[in-house]
A and B are shown apart, each in its own frame.
Chain A
């Protein structure tokens, strides 16, 4: 189903920003595709003109890690409500985690999710296939058939592949299909039962701790397994200085390793859990300040390949529980751009780098044609004002799930409009 491409649109006098593109000028959309862009274009008859002083026009964001409530957890969020939140956040492509109910371990489910994305008219859903059947970490899923059906890579979602033997098999087998295996890097036997980063704060609150080393241990092991198998491993939501240093060194040594992080890990530290604030309970847990600073620095130096929302919708009842019992995870679609821009405003990351981490680089990791400004490419676009201010408020966010760890945070950077294949879907 191809949605109505909408009228021709001329963006004029905006900063066009994408990989290989950084200029102030015009961009013309015709028939749902980018027809032309440059310093100055004429206005075709009948085209809608969009002009915003000081605004940036970039490719629609590519969020390479988000959980959808469907199938199985519709009380938390539906695909329609996730699409609404994504559009408000400037996201036009989203890679969906497979640890739903049922897990995305069957080719038919991959096709279903792709189709459900098309139905929204605003969001391309790129499903991940499960690494193991049911994401149970026991036996490999039908990786080849999942790939044929359109899976972008393989992941067990929020569950770590704990067995070294199984991870070795997955990396070897996926390599034969030229595919990545995405790991939730947290040693399950060390992290099991934990609720917060191990250290003096968890000690004060009487919460079972998860040592930062639980991340580094699995990263070190899987780098070694990637070398052993020649396979490609990708670490999700990397959150510690130690793991980043291992990844930095492995990249320098030529190992096929990539990673992403999520905004909470460069914007917040463990103190956000304060007096048992369950909206700040995440997996992995928020870390100490030195780790947060190391994640921010790794955005700038190229160690981190992409910023993903790690969106995890939760119902109020999942969170209104004693801290250790509350479900981990935070929503992140509507705040992905704004929180990332905070690292631009504080001088850590140049704006073009930030945009690349949200567009071209995750698209390249997913192996999809998205995240670029190119003539003839589908007009998936995000128009934002980098300096305008808004305040995050749980309860007022677009979409159904409201469990943001950024409640009360003032953000500089407002999405003014989102276009999917030429049609305005937000703003």
Chain B
């Protein structure tokens, strides 16, 4: 098997065969899910804990469904920030989890590097479900699977990642995955929302959205959180939409068959116009959700096997 790590903490550092293995396996789970069958013997007797320090109904539900379709016992733990403030540290949580003999631990945390810290202390295989502004590996994998199924390939495609790249873990994971698989990746947004020296991650940076979308096969939109405006990084939602919101006119600069993607939840009228978001010919946003479950099944399957090999 070409995926050799115990955990899935980041896309950065994964080799193309490891990514291909996960995507191929996920492909088989898409077919299984569509057939209405399940494979409940695969993770029977195994415990999956969804440990969410940040609310995220859709990611948690997606992992929950993936675990249940493979027969795992799934437990959801939402750790509110208040109990963290009461003095319980991340490592106290780790000791608790070890005592529960958890096999697979899915972690969402507001701080970059928190899943990596947990992974040093827990026995379980850790899956990063989004950490701060660092990475969100399963989102990048489900985006790649969506692209591959629609376009028949990934290598050689032009992908524009647009919006608040600075604060986006989705953008970072996608940049690593798509550059590793040979895409022409551009990031597009106001200079205040692009991270420092982002070009050194192997992408081109554009502040003019029309130039950034020119000839793109894929247009990937990112969510703009309202607090970015409160912090003065962009002056207003209407100004943002005017220059970096995706509408039919700006999309016209991309290829005619370009796909529109969004990790959700969308801010309609801020980063994306409803006319584009709901256009069945262009938007694959609903399909991304379906691919999410299949990709997470593939990740759980793979990590539970590597765990068994260790034992």
Chain A residues with a Cβ under 8 A of chain B: 198-200, 202-209, 211, 275-276, 317, 320-325
With both chains docked as a complex, state the minimum distance between the C-beta of A321 and any C-beta of chain B, in angstroms: 7
> Given A276-B117, A324-B132, A203 and B112 touching (CB < 8 A)?
no
Q: Do residues A203 and B116 form an inter-chain contact, with CB atoms below 8 A? A: no
Complex interface: chain B residues within 8 A of A323 (CB): 111-113
> Given A276-B113, A322-B109, A322-B114, A206 and B132 touching (CB < 8 A)?
yes
Question: Does B186 have its Cβ within 8 Å of any Cβ on chain A?
Answer: no
Q: Do residues A200 and B201 form an inter-chain contact, with CB atoms below 8 A? A: yes
With both chains docked as a complex, state the minimum distance between the C-beta of B271 and any C-beta of chain A, in angstroms: 20
Q: Which of B117, B131, B201 contacts A203 (CB 8 A)?
A: B201
> Total A-B residue pairs with C-beta atoms closer than 8 Å?
71
Complex interface: chain A residues within 8 A of B109 (CB): 322
> Given A204-B172, A206-B135, A276-B117, A320 and B89 touching (CB < 8 A)?
yes
With both chains docked as a complex, state the minimum distance between the C-beta of A395 and any C-beta of chain B, in angstroms: 16
With both chains docked as a complex, state the minimum distance between the C-beta of B281 and any C-beta of chain A, in angstroms: 34
Complex interface: chain A residues within 8 A of B252 (CB): none
Q: What are 17 A-B pairs with beta-carbon distances under 8 A?
A: A198-B196, A198-B197, A200-B198, A202-B195, A202-B196, A203-B195, A203-B200, A206-B113, A206-B134, A206-B135, A208-B133, A275-B113, A276-B117, A322-B90, A322-B111, A322-B112, A324-B111
Query: B91, B117, B169 — which one has the most chain A CB atoms within 10 A of its CB?
Result: B117
Question: Does B12 have its Cβ within 8 Å of any Cβ on chain A?
Answer: yes
Which B162-219 residues have C-beta < 8 A from chain A? 169, 172, 195-198, 200-201
- Complex Cα distance, B12 from A275, in Å, reads 11
Complex interface: chain B residues within 8 A of A324 (CB): 111-113, 132
- Complex Cα distance, B195 from A206, in Å, reads 9
Complex interface: chain B residues within 8 A of A211 (CB): 196
With both chains docked as a complex, state the minimum distance between the C-beta of B289 and any C-beta of chain A, in angstroms: 24
With both chains docked as a complex, state the minimum distance between the C-beta of A271 and any C-beta of chain B, in angstroms: 14
- Complex Cα distance, B90 from A353, in Å, reads 46
With both chains docked as a complex, state the minimum distance between the C-beta of B143 and any C-beta of chain A, in angstroms: 18
Complex interface: chain A residues within 8 A of B132 (CB): 206, 322, 324
Q: Do residues B113 and A199 form an inter-chain contact, with CB atoms below 8 A? A: no
Complex interface: chain B residues within 8 A of A317 (CB): 89
Complex interface: chain A residues within 8 A of B90 (CB): 320-322
For A320, give the chain B residue with the smallest CB separation. B91
Interface string of B107-121 (1 = CB under 8 A from A): 001011110110000
For B199, give the chain A residue with the smallest CB separation. A200
Which B1-47 residues have C-beta < 8 A from chain A? 12
- Complex Cα distance, B172 from A323, in Å, reads 18
- Complex Cα distance, B131 from A323, in Å, reads 12
Q: Which of A203, A205, A320, A322 contacts B198 (CB 8 A)?
A: A203
Complex interface: chain B residues within 8 A of A198 (CB): 196-197
With both chains docked as a complex, state the minimum distance between the C-beta of B141 and any C-beta of chain A, in angstroms: 18
Complex interface: chain A residues within 8 A of B172 (CB): 203-204, 206
Complex interface: chain A residues within 8 A of B197 (CB): 198-200, 203
Complex interface: chain A residues within 8 A of B133 (CB): 206-208
Q: Do residues B89 and A321 form an inter-chain contact, with CB atoms below 8 A? A: yes
With both chains docked as a complex, state the minimum distance between the C-beta of A155 and any C-beta of chain B, in angstroms: 30
